[in-house]
Structure 1
Amino acid sequence: MRIQIQPGVHLFVDIEGLGQVPDGPVLRHKPTLVLIHGGPGFDHTGFRPFFSRFADLCQIVYFDLRGHGRSDPRPPEEWRLDVFADDVVRLCDALGVVKPIVLGQSFGGFVAQRYLARHPAHPDKVVLSSTSHHFGLARKIERFGALGGPQAAAATREFWEHPGPASWAAYEKHCRHLYNTRPKNPDAGRWMIFKPEILFTHTRTELPGMDLRPGLARVQCPVLVMAGEEDPVTPPQDAEEIVAALPAAWVRFERFAGVGHGPWRDDPEAAERVLRAFLQSP
Structure 2
Amino acid sequence: MIDADHITTTVAGTAGRIAVVDHGGQGPDVVLLHGAHRSLLDWEAVRPALSGLRLIAYDLRGHGRSDPPADDDYGWEAHLGDLDAVIAALGLRNPHLVGHSLGGMIAVRHAATRPGCPGVVDLDGFGGGVPGLYPGLSAAEVARRRGEQLAMFTAMAGPEHVDAAQSREIIAAARTAAAAQGWNPDLEEANARRGLTRAADGSRTRRPAPRTLPALMAPLEGWDMFAELRHLACPALVVQGGRRPTLDHLPPDLQELTESLIAGITHEIDALRRESGLVRAVRIDGAAHMVHLDAPEVVGRLIRDFVLASM
What band does the TM-score fall into relative to the shorter chain? 0.7 to 0.9
**Residue 13 (structure 1) aligned with residue 20 (structure 2):** yes
CA 1:8/1:115 → structure 2, altered by over 3 Å: closer, same or farther?
closer
CA 1:67/1:239 → structure 2, altered by over 3 Å: closer, same or farther?
farther
SS in 1 for 2:282: strand
In structure 2, which of residues 85, 88, 105 is the aligned counterpart of residue 90 of structure 1?
A: 85
After TM superposition, give the deviation of residue 125 of structure 1 in Å: 1.1
Query: Which structure is higher in RCO with an 8 Å CA cutoff and minimum separation 6?
Result: 2
Give the number of aligned pairs: 248
CA 1:10/1:243 → structure 2, altered by over 3 Å: closer, same or farther?
farther
In structure 2, which of residues 106, 118, 122 is the aligned counterpart of residue 124 of structure 1?
A: 118
In the alignment, what sits opposite 1:189?
188
In structure 1, which of residues 200, 204, 224 is the aligned counterpart of residue 237 of structure 2?
A: 224
Instruction: Report if aligned partners of 2:61, 2:79 keep a CA contact under 8 Å in 1.
Output: yes
1:100-111 aligned within 5 A: 100-111=95-106
1:136-175 aligned within 5 A: 159-164=149-154, 166-168=155-157
Counterpart Cα distance in 2 of 1:112 and 1:160: 24
After TM superposition, give the deviation of residue 94 of structure 1 in Å: 1.3
* One-letter identity of the residue aligned with 1:116: A
Counterpart Cα distance in 1 of 2:278 and 2:66: 33
Counterpart Cα distance in 1 of 2:147 and 2:264: 19
Counterpart Cα distance in 1 of 2:216 and 2:15: 23
Instruction: Provide the TM-score with structure 2 as the length reference.
Output: 0.67
Instruction: Provide the TM-score with structure 1 as the length reference.
Output: 0.73
Instruction: Report if aligned partners of 1:223, 1:251 keep a CA contact under 8 Å in 2.
Output: yes
After TM superposition, give the deviation of residue 130 of structure 1 in Å: 0.9
**Residue 3 (structure 1) aligned with residue 10 (structure 2):** yes
**Residue 251 (structure 1) aligned with residue 279 (structure 2):** yes
Q: Which runs of 5+ in 1 are unaligned?
A: 20-29, 143-155
After TM superposition, give the deviation of residue 17 of structure 1 in Å: 2.6
Instruction: Report if aligned partners of 2:49, 2:304 keep a CA contact under 8 Å in 1.
Output: no
In the alignment, what sits opposite 2:30?
33
In the alignment, what sits opposite 1:72?
67
Counterpart Cα distance in 2 of 1:267 and 1:123: 26
**Residue 198 (structure 1) aligned with residue 218 (structure 2):** no
Counterpart Cα distance in 2 of 1:181 and 1:281: 36
Instruction: Report if aligned partners of 2:14, 2:78 keep a CA contact under 8 Å in 1.
Output: no
Counterpart Cα distance in 2 of 1:245 and 1:275: 18
In the alignment, what sits opposite 1:264?
292
Counterpart Cα distance in 2 of 1:98 and 1:114: 18
In the alignment, what sits opposite 2:220?
207
* One-letter identity of the residue aligned with 1:185: N
* One-letter identity of the residue aligned with 2:23: E
In the alignment, what sits opposite 2:38?
42
Counterpart Cα distance in 2 of 1:181 and 1:250: 37
RMSD, aligned CA: 3.6
SS in 2 for 1:253: strand
CA 1:2/1:269 → structure 2, altered by over 3 Å: closer, same or farther?
closer
Q: Which runs of 5+ in 2 are unaligned?
A: 1-7, 137-145, 159-169, 171-175, 196-206, 246-257
